[in-house]
A and B are shown apart, each in its own frame.
Chain A
């Protein structure tokens, strides 16, 4: 008999994707104070997919738990996840700013504990967060748990404990199959995340949100990587315009591109 799905959805609060990040004067970090933040776009896809698995009813979903490690304001993204359909949340509070930043390995270790606590049998993460662009946490978690992994998923079907996942690879797609439990990371084409409606946003305020401290997990999250410098990328000397196609060809030849 198919087991009920107990889905854990880790979400991360990041600088909004539409904001152009600024680097601080000391070149130690990207300026985050007073900058608009929102849920990592790939994590919205994760929440949406979890909710859709429930709505599709191919296999019963017992619970969807959203989880985030971040500063106090990370609760906002957990509320968003609950407004989209997650049942409850766990928030692990970290310090504000760069001091509170965790490495994917540390997050994966905490998630391993969270999976045990919540008795999850499916974890859906975004394929990468758009701030550090690491693309690691899901794979690391799967490794620590010894579970099957399907990264960069563009289609997920689960029936009778069997997950069939289509994933985006270089040059096309491939399809994998594995039995639960499993770690899946989402790619852009997986779905179109819903907007949280006002009534659902109001309801989400009443859903349970458990607060935890880093120490509660008892794992080694010591940083292995040290930021030496954060710098602006080299600026391009763009902006030259030509009048017509002939001008474009001439200029490209001049630049040695043709």
Chain B
């Protein structure tokens, strides 16, 4: 009797779903019955990368149980930290130093084994260097397509993502039995990292060999907030004319605001700023509360990386620069005068 009621309720819910967005019934019931999500989290030297929790936020929007996956050496501490993240039912961990550097050659088979074992229907990771490198390889091994860099979830199989450098927004429906997805961090802000109590479970480790060997890394050191997650970003472009001027003007302004520093491709290509600071289609996507830029004209490739910022402010001497079409606050003037003045006045506040 109860089951009859439940079935009827389910059928009604499905009918409603279908009236909004027609899809075939068998497929829908299949997904509704089995939906279970795996969020692949990143760790670095035994620390959980909070930026990767965007995958958890997105996973929760799907509905259904959410499991997180972590792998690396001495992974227990990371797994414990992940277990406290709100919204997670289970943490699968694999303790093996071979996965520390996230090499996709052995990490992808590792994920595939755990996906198969857990019967997950949705695999999510951040659209970070790690996620971009790894997930397509996983998708190929599972013979499914991937949906990259999603900014919204419409239903279990329908997702929204920007294409053409954000100049068009694509809504796409996947017919694959397993959905492999990378999520845009700025569209799914990390939730609470305390208060959760997920269970820990050891995953399977196929111990695949990696033909690739990790040699070294050179990461830009910075005490400032991380560019991708900062609430304020100040960004400089070609208008700064030299590395000396970039270093003279931008850091004090960033410090006055407590902001991260970004740069346009032109500034990076000219050697004014490090590659990792590039904002745009081919660099980082940011969506801070405030994006304050100076000497940036606003090419579409740059706008692609920052136009979801809450408030955009621009200083440029060319009143016709395209940046002013998106800026909430525009100041036409010489940045070599205006930026120091702005820095001083902000400091004085």
Question: Contacts A224-B174, A239-B325, A245-B342: A252 and B313 contacting too (C-beta < 8 A)?
Answer: yes
Does chain A have a CB within 8 A of B211?
yes
Find out whether the CB atom of B105 lies under 8 angstroms from the CB atom of A225: no
In the bound complex, do residue A133 and residue B165 qualify as a contact, i.e. CB atoms below 8 Å apart? yes
Q: Are B163 and A257 in contact (CB under 8 A)?
A: no
Contact yes or no, B137 A139, CB < 8 A: yes
**Hey, which chain B residues are within 8 Å of A77, CB to CB?**
none
Verify B169–A230 contact, CB threshold 8 A.
yes
Shortest beta-carbon distance from A132 to chain B in Å: 5
Taking the closest CB of chain B, its distance from the CB of A217, in whole angstroms, is 16
Residue A148 lies at the interface, judged by CB distance under 8 Å to chain B:
yes
Q: What is the 8 Å Cβ interface bit string for chain A, positions 228-251, against chain B (1 contact, 0 not)? A: 111111001111111111111101
**Chain A residues with a Cβ closer than 8 Å to the other chain, count:** 80
**Contact across chains for B167 and A21 when beta carbons are under 8 A apart:** yes
CB of A72 closer than 8 Å to a CB of B: no
Q: A168-B275, A248-B313 are in contact. Are A227 and B171 (CB under 8 A)?
A: yes
A142–B105 alpha-carbon span in the complex (Å): 9
Q: Within 8 Å CB of B146, what residues of A?
A: 104-105, 134, 136, 140
B133 touches A245 (CB 8 A): no
Per-position binary interface string of chain A over residues 122-160, scored 1 when its CB falls under 8 Å from any chain B CB and 0 otherwise: 000001101111111111111110011111101000000
CB-CB under 8 A for A232 and B346, given A133-B164, A240-B329, A242-B329: no
Instruction: Say yes or no: is A179 at the interface (Cβ < 8 Å to chain B).
Output: yes
How far, in angstroms, from A168 to B294 measured CA to CA in the complex? 25
Q: How far, in angstroms, from A59 to B212 measured CA to CA in the complex? A: 20
Counting CB contacts under 8 A, is B236 at the interface?
no
Interface assignment of B199: CB less than 8 Å from any CB of chain A:
no
With CB as the reference atom, state the residue of chain A lying closest to B220. Answer: A172
A232 touches B168 (CB 8 A): yes
Segment with Cβ contacts to A, from B61-69, B241-249, B330-338: B330-338
Stretch at the interface among B85-93, B114-122, B187-195, B304-312: B304-312
Least CB distance, A226 to chain B, in whole angstroms: 5
Q: Does B147 sit within 8 A of A, measured CB to CB? A: yes
With A242-B330, A252-B311, A257-B313 already in contact, the answer to whether A169 and B129 are too (CB < 8 A) is yes
Is B300 in the interface zone, CB < 8 Å from A? yes
Q: Is B128 at the interface (CB under 8 A from chain A)?
A: yes
The answer to whether B53 has its CB under 8 Å from any CB of chain A is no
Q: Kindly state whether residue A30 has any CB partner on chain B within 8 Å.
A: yes
Mask, B286-309, CB within 8 Å of A = 1, is: 000110000000001100000100
Is B34 in the interface zone, CB < 8 Å from A? no
Tell me if B300 and A238 are in contact (CB < 8 A). no
Q: Is the CB of A225 within 8 A of B175?
A: yes
- Expressed in whole angstroms, the Cα–Cα distance for A258 and B348 within the complex equals 13
Q: Name the residue of chain A whose CB is nearest to the CB of B172.
A: A225
Residues of B within 8 A of A94 (CB): none
Residues of A within 8 A of B145 (CB): 103-105, 224-225
By a CB distance below 8 angstroms, the chain A residues around B103 are 176
Q: How many residues of B contact A (CB 8 A)?
A: 92
CB distance from A177 to the nearest CB of B (A): 5
How far is it, in angstroms, between the C-alpha of A242 and the C-alpha of B134 when the chains are bound? 46
Closest to A246 in B: B345
User: Does chain A have a CB within 8 A of B217?
Assistant: yes
B317 within 8 A of A: no
A227/B172 contact (C-beta < 8 A), A133-B165, A152-B129, A249-B342 known: yes
Could you tell me the distance between the alpha carbons of A138 and B338 in the complex, rounded to whole angstroms?
A: 45
> Which residues on the B side are within 8 Å of A128 (C-beta)?
282
Interface flag for B328 (CB, 8 Å): yes
Bound Cα distance A58, B311 (Å): 51
Q: Looking at the assembled complex, report how far the CB atom of B170 sits from the nearest CB atom of chain A, in whole angstroms.
A: 5
Contact A140 B140 (CB under 8 A): yes
Give 18 new A-B contacts, CB below 8 A, not counting A169-B219, A175-B214, A249-B342: A105-B143, A131-B164, A140-B137, A140-B140, A143-B136, A143-B141, A148-B210, A152-B133, A169-B217, A175-B215, A187-B282, A225-B172, A228-B21, A230-B170, A233-B162, A236-B312, A242-B330, A245-B331
15 A-B residue pairs with Cβ-Cβ distance under 8 Å, sorted by A, are A23-B168, A105-B139, A127-B282, A128-B282, A142-B104, A142-B137, A148-B212, A169-B219, A172-B217, A172-B218, A174-B101, A225-B174, A240-B328, A240-B330, A258-B349
Q: Which A residues are closer than 8 A to B by beta carbons?
A: 15, 17, 20-21, 23, 30, 103-105, 108, 127-128, 130-144, 147-152, 154, 164, 168-179, 187-189, 224-233, 236-249, 251-252, 255-258
